[in-house]
Amino acid sequence: MLAPIFDPKEWKALPTATKGLPASPGAASGQVVFTADDAVEWTRQGKKAMLVRKETVPDDIHGMFVAQGILTATGGMTSHAAVVGRQMGKPSIVGAGGLDIDESARIFHVAGSTVKEGDYISFDGLTGEVKLARVASKPSTILQVIQGTLPKT
């Protein structure tokens, strides 16, 4: 209930490239990276990294920690990415079977599109939807009311 969200109108206006299992809630947007080390390096450069992997392993923890979100092609609700993402409060989607990831070439294919390292993606860890665009997130509705940026209804 406190996780970041997308503006519903902006989010719904974009096509969904694929869906996966909503492993950890929250809105995440940033540039695609394919290794944990790259997630750390890009974050050091002030970029918002989205870690995209076929699956995560314990050695990826440092990249998972700094990434805006975690997206995997395989895995279930008890997979490494799902469990660690939830523990960290990191938006995560697992089991997005529509992704054809080539980590060595630093690309993935989905819904007839090719996404390269550095391209922007956004996803909603509550619904499992992935969009091939940069979408700004905002605080949850509850936090907006507390902060006074959204009137109480």
In angstroms, the Cα distances linking 107 to 34, 114, 118 are: 8, 7, 10
Domain assignment present for 152: no
Joined together, the tokens standing for residue 145 give 């009311």
pLDDT at 5: 85
Domain assignment present for 133: yes
Q: Tell me the DSSP string of the chain.
A: --S-EE-HHHHHHSPP-EE-EEEE-SEEEEEEESSHHHHHHHHHTT--EEEEESS--GGGHHHHHHSSEEEESS--TTSHHHHHHHHHT--EEE--TT-EEETTTTEEEETTEEEETT-EEEEETTTTEEESS---EE--HHHHHHHTSS---
Domain assignment present for 78: yes
Strands 137-138 and 120-124: unpaired
Domain assignment present for 153: no
Strand partners, 100: 109
Residue 121 CB neighbours (<10 A)? 24
Q: How many domains are there within the chain?
A: 1
Cα–Cα distance, 130 to 29 (Å, whole number): 10
pLDDT at 51: 98
Reported pTM: 0.93
83 HSE (CA, 13 A, CB side): 9
pLDDT at 149: 82
Domain that holds residue 92: 5-146
Domain assignment present for 115: yes
Domain assignment present for 81: yes
Q: Looking at residue 25, which CATH number applies to its domain?
A: 3.50.30.10
Per-block mean pLDDT, blocks of 10 residues, the chain (153 long): 86 97 96 98 98 97 98 97 96 97 97 97 97 89 80 74
